Structure formats: C-alpha cells, structure tokens
Chains A and B, each alone.
Chain A
Amino acid sequence: MKKKSARKKKTSLREKIVSQRLQAEKEFHRKHPHAKEFFEKKGLKLENVRQHSSKLLAAGTLAGGLLLTSPQLSVPSAKLPYDWVKVLTDAGLVSPKDSPNFLAIRLKEVLPKITCPLDPEVERQISFLVEKLSGIRVRASLEGERLLTCYGLIGAEQHLPRFLGDTVSQHDEWRESGITPGRGAWGYFVKNKNELSNEDILREKYYVAVQTLYLPDWEKRQPFLRDWYQYRKVMAINPQNGQAVVAVIADAGPAAWTGKQFGGSPEVMVSLGLHQGMRKGPVLLFFVDDPENKVPLGPVDFDSSFMPKITVAESSRKAI
C-alpha cells in the first residue's frame, strides 16, 4: 500500500513537471516570438543555456566587450596582496596562532563576493597558502582534470546508504540529517554490511557531491572520468571562517537549478561550520594531491598537522 502511494506520488510530481515544462515553453513562444527567433538565429536553445554558459566560461570568455558600463568584472585580480607576500616570504613557514582565522582574513582579500570561477593565478596562490598552513598539497587542477569551479556554494546533503539495506540508525552520528532513499551516483560503497571497512565508513562520513555531470567532456571520456572522480580526495574550505575538511567525492550533484555547485555530508557541513541555519554557504574545493593516500579524511587540524609544513623555496619567492 505504501509502495503504491510512493509510486503514485512519483508519477504525479513527474507529470506536473513535464506539464509545466511544456507550458512554460509554449508561453515563452506565444508571448515573445521575437526572442524565440533571436535564439534560433544564434543557434541557442534556451533550455540548454547552462551548457552554453559552461562552454563560454570554459573558453575563458569574460564578455569584456559588452556594452554594459560597469568596470567591475566577476573574476578577481590575480595580484597577490602585499601582506601575503610578506607572510609567505619572510616567515617561510606559516604557523599563526589561529590558522583558520588567518586563512579566512586572507581569503577575503582575494575572493569575489559572489561565488564564481577563479583566475588560475588566484587558485595557485590560494593552494600555496593552504599548503603552507596545513601541510597538505591541494590543487585546483590535478593530473589535467579540474572541476567547473573550485569556488561555489555547498548545500547540506543527507547520509548515503553504504550498502543495500543500510538505514540511518546504523550511522553513528547526525542521524537527524536522514538518509537518501536512493544510492549515490557511484552506487553503494560495498555490497553488504559485512564488507564495510573503516575506510568505507569514513568515506561516507566525509563525502562531497560535485557536478561531474556538467563537465563538458563527461560523456566523451567514460569510463575514465568516472573512475578518476570516484572517491577522489578533496579539501573543502569555508572562506568565511577558514575551517577546512578533507573528504572524498562520493556523489554527483546538486542539480544546476538549485544554485549550488557542491553538496556536503552531514559531517562535512559540521566540519565547515555550515550545519545550522540555511545549511548552505560558499566553499573552496581543491583536489588533494595525495598519491600515497596518507592524508586522513576529516576536519583539518592546522595546528597539529601530521605533515611537515612546506618552506618557501627561492624559486617560489620569485614566482610570487
């Protein structure tokens, strides 16, 4: 009976969405035929405008030649603030008293107010600072792969079922967040409960969802990309408070229309200090360069980093 009701609900919502979709297009064509004609001439389908935007951004088009008058561009300056240069070059090894706060103050200097793709030079500078503070090597681009953005909005996700039959009561923390009825984009973590290792448990605890489906080459480069992204280690940083967490990519999403670019497990959101209120906020997301799998998953403890912090080489000083 319950199953039947769920099926009916599914059909009902799907039918409504399909109906609204058709109605919306019809209304647009009826009221604004000149706009329909305009897009046809340009070879752009309005329903695919996000892919169009993605291609433009990937090509680095900033539309600087538009007739719009404001000189403000959405991409920040690539120049490293003086304060950073001083810290990075004079101190050599960065160990401030309050690393998260130190990081947050400096990130505010270079990040735009609204999340957007960053200038590659800014990405490099942030990676450098994070690496010096945490001892963890992070990269916006790793082995030639990169996300559509490393600066976006993250929203709270539910727990993921780790195996068929997994329930929220079997997860040890943040049960109130619930569990997704369906499996993640990469399926279950293990086939059954008996196979569940400590590593699998940690992977589910500290997971993020990223928009792999919107990568321009996602379909063309299968199964390579799927394998490359599955459980890929990343560091998420809340630029507002400097709190950071190392997690793995274990799901795809969120949908583009949500306005978010990333999703975070309950534990990830807590680690970032984003588990209350809107449970959403800006984050930086970088790949962790960890070929030997030494960096543990979980909140980054800047003060007792397990890896030696990196000293600034003469060549790096010149580079900045």
Chain B
Amino acid sequence: MSRIFYDHLIILNSLELKITDLGLGPEEKEALNQLVEETVHFRLMTRILDSLPREHHEEFLDFFHQAPHEERLLKYLQEKIEDIEDIIKKEIEDLEKSLLLEI
C-alpha cells in the first residue's frame, strides 16, 4: 500500500471532480494526478518544516525517510507543533483554491 502519514488529511474532492470532468484518457489522467501528487508532497513538507523548530528537522527527516507511512510521525509532530493537523489541512485547502480559481 502506498501510504504517507498525512494522507487522511488530504481532502481535494473538488479538484478530483474537476479532473474527472475533463474526460481525459487513462494515461493523461494518470499524468495529471501524478503532478498533483508531487505538488502535495512539496507543499506539505515545506509547511511542516516551516512550523517545526529547526533543531528537530534532521530527526523528523530521518523518521520520515525510514517510514513515511508511519502514523506515529503525526504524533511526533503534534508534540512539537500546535495544530499541525489544521496547518496541513489549510495548506491543502489553499492548494485546491489556487488550482480551481477562475476555472
């Protein structure tokens, strides 16, 4: 199973519908989905590191590299960042808004 510890916080229903509505072929749809996927990882990692005190960065990155699926990563972040779940959700909301704006 391809799983990242923040997956359950990613809600992009409107974007998913928009992409479905485009009526793309399977390959084209897959390519577009992959771009969204990559954007999500870059944006979330940036926001997490923005919020996490610098002295914990190496430790967190090491955990993440060893087990990106491990749900205890979220617990680790919760201990160090107030409202990390809301921060992640907000970042995803912002991404969706910026993609769907004026479409």
- Chain A residues in contact with chain B, CB under 8 A? 6, 9-10, 12-14, 16-18, 20-21, 24-25, 27-28, 31-32, 34-35, 38-39, 42, 44, 46-47, 49-54, 56-57, 61-63, 66-68, 70, 72, 74, 114, 116-117, 148-149, 152, 158, 180-185, 211, 213-214, 252, 254-259, 261
Interface centre among B3, B11, B36, by most chain A C-beta atoms within 10 angstroms, is B3
The CA-CA distance from A288 to B38 in the complex, in Å, is 35
The CA-CA distance from A255 to B67 in the complex, in Å, is 21
Q: Beyond A18-B35, A185-B26, A257-B10, is A66–B70 a contact (Cβ under 8 Å)?
A: yes
Q: Give the chain B neighbours of A259 by CB distance below 8 A.
A: 7-11
Is the CB–CB distance between B43 and A24 below 8 Å? yes
Q: Beyond A13-B22, A68-B70, A182-B23, is A116–B50 a contact (Cβ under 8 Å)?
A: no
How many B residues face the partner with a CB closer than 8 A?
57
The CA-CA distance from A114 to B12 in the complex, in Å, is 19
Q: In the complex, which residues 12-33 of chain B have their Cβ closer than 8 Å to any Cβ of chain A?
A: 12, 16, 18-26, 29-30, 32-33
What 8 A-B pairs have minimum CB-CB distances, sorted nearest first?
A181-B23, A63-B67, A149-B1, A255-B33, A24-B42, A47-B38, A54-B2, A148-B1
Q: Give the chain A neighbours of B18 by CB distance below 8 A.
A: 13
Beyond known contacts A42-B65, A61-B66, A181-B23: 20 more, CB 8 A cutoff: A16-B99, A20-B95, A21-B39, A24-B39, A24-B42, A28-B45, A38-B61, A46-B38, A46-B42, A47-B41, A57-B3, A61-B67, A148-B2, A211-B2, A254-B16, A256-B2, A257-B36, A259-B7, A259-B8, A259-B11
Is the CB–CB distance between A51 and B2 below 8 Å? yes
Beta-carbon nearest neighbor of B99 in chain A: A16
Is the CB–CB distance between A114 and B22 below 8 Å? no
Q: Give the chain B neighbours of A32 by CB distance below 8 A.
A: 45-46, 49, 57
Identify whether the interface residues of B are mostly helix, strand, loop, or mixed: helix
Scoring B residues 82 to 94 as 1 if CB is less than 8 Å from chain A, else 0, what string do you get? 0000000000000
Q: Give the chain B neighbours of A117 by CB distance below 8 A.
A: 1
A-B contact pairs, 22 of them (CB 8 A): A10-B22, A17-B32, A17-B36, A20-B39, A21-B35, A24-B39, A28-B42, A38-B58, A53-B4, A54-B2, A56-B69, A57-B2, A57-B69, A66-B72, A68-B75, A70-B75, A72-B72, A74-B70, A255-B19, A257-B33, A258-B10, A261-B1
Q: Beyond A13-B18, A13-B19, A54-B1, is A46–B24 a contact (Cβ under 8 Å)?
A: no
The CA-CA distance from A13 to B19 in the complex, in Å, is 8
Q: Beyond A10-B24, A24-B42, is A258–B16 a contact (Cβ under 8 Å)?
A: yes
Is the CB–CB distance between B32 and A14 below 8 Å? yes
Q: Give the chain A neighbours of B76 by CB distance below 8 A.
A: 68
- Taking the nearest CB of chain A, how far is it from the CB of B37, in angstroms? 5
